[in-house]
Amino acid sequence: MSNYTNHKKYEDYEFEDFLSDEFFVQWVKSHSENNLHFWEKWLISNPQKREMVTEAASFVRSIQYKENFEFTDEAYIEVFENILKVDLETPSISSTHSKKEVWYSFFSVRRVAAILLIGFSCWALFETQNFSESEKAPIEWITKVNEAGKKTVIHLNDGTVIHLNSNSKISYPKTFTDSIRVISMEGEAFFDVEKETRPFIVEVNDAKVEVLGTSFNVNSVVEGKLEVALVSGKVKVNDKLGNQVMLDPMEMIVLEDNGKIYKQDFDVRSVTGWKDKYLVFTDDDFDTVVRKIKNWYGVEISTSGKFNTQWAYTGQYFDESLENVLEGIAQTSKIKYKIKGKEVQITH
């Protein structure tokens, strides 16, 4: 039953209420601009319901599968006969009961019916999946790992191209299934996804980035923070709390481990330039500069001296050597450096 029929506010919903709400189920199964906007705003206003909503949404998604199980007429009648039998075996409603109690009893039966039907569907799904999986060969997964100082370009069998940055890891099936394309990653990667009907999902930091065909950058290098920057197309980001956010081109979303989420604009060269051999610093503090140089060139850096907390550096380098980059920083930031093999010493 929908929220508008029973006049019950969503704030007062319990788990089974969400399962039987048509507007909620529609949002979980197939997003539209209307229901997506409503539920995003509602979850922000009702954070205490996020866990329940996430569990309900997962439950609804779990009964979706490629070949939908269909009830036969006999099975459908048998389920409802059992429900009515249970209802008839309960004590009859006293004539002293109010119309309100009779009305509540009627809807309780409908709720029980809904839950039983969902449970029956889950059982059917379980049996169907077990049968299907027993006939399928195990999926072969490929894992690529880049150490510091190394970048690679990966071509998937669907035509998607992935640029994997330094200190990053990615895993993907050798062959995608007929219904979905799923990969997992750590670190930073740029995706140029081949557009087709199968969704393309990137799993990173307990979040999911879902697209059909688009270009975007995913960065989880900084601990406790995930950044998704969309260059073209459309992207949907789902976090571990059940929040869903849509991105338009040239928007970047930042998700922090404390639950904070915000959008911001971004400079394409600063965010994605690394895949085209651009090392970019944009008002970066000293620690960020050191981290970027270590990842880019695969070196160890030791520092000495005191660095002002207001210290910041901006600069762009295209396919430059480590020495040229350090020299450029030294000329404007009053630092000294020494390079010895894979070790660098910086003093202020």
Give the span between the Cα atoms of 309 and 348, in whole angstroms.
13
- Residue 249: how many CA atoms within 13 Å on its side-chain side? 6
> CATH class for domain 277-347?
alpha beta
Structure tokens at 283: 């008002």
Which of 23-27, 192-196, 228-232 is the least confident region? 23-27
Structure tokens at 343: 């070790």
More confident residue, 30 or 156: 156
Q: Please, which pLDDT band fits residue 112 given cuts at 50, 70 and 90?
A: low
How far from 105 is each of 12, 17, 56, 91, 112, CA to CA, in Å? 19, 15, 24, 12, 11
Contacts with 157 (C-beta within 8 Å, 6 or more apart), sequence order: 174, 175, 176
Query: Looking at domain 141-270, which CATH architecture does it have?
Result: Sandwich (2.60)
Contacts with 199 (C-beta within 8 Å, 6 or more apart), sequence order: 180, 181, 210, 211, 212
Domain boundaries, the chain: 3-135, 141-270, 277-347
312: number of Cβ within 10 Å: 15
- Look-up of token digits 């990137």: 202
Give the span between the Cα atoms of 58 and 204, in whole angstroms.
18
State the pLDDT at residue 73.
52
State the pLDDT at residue 319.
94
Instruction: Report pLDDT digits (tens) over 45-91.
Output: 787 888 888 878 877 776 643 444 444 555 545 545 554 454 444 44
Q: What percent of the chain has pLDDT over 90?
A: 44
Q: Please, which pLDDT band fits residue 120 given cuts at 50, 70 and 90?
A: low
Average pLDDT estimate for 141-160: 94
Sheet arrangement for strand 181-186: 141-146, 168-173, 181-186, 200-204, 207-211, 235-238, 244-247
Give the span between the Cα atoms of 181 and 201, in whole angstroms.
6
Give the span between the Cα atoms of 224 and 221, in whole angstroms.
9
Q: Taking Cα atoms as reference points, which of 230, 227, 226 lies closest to residue 211?
A: 230
Give the span between the Cα atoms of 221 and 188, in whole angstroms.
6
State the pLDDT at residue 60.
76
Q: Please, which pLDDT band fits residue 5 given cuts at 50, 70 and 90?
A: very low
Instruction: Report pLDDT digits (tens) over 206-248.
Output: 899 999 789 999 999 988 899 999 999 989 998 888 888 999 9
Give the β-pairing of 181-186 and 200-204: parallel
State which amino acid sits at residue 91: P
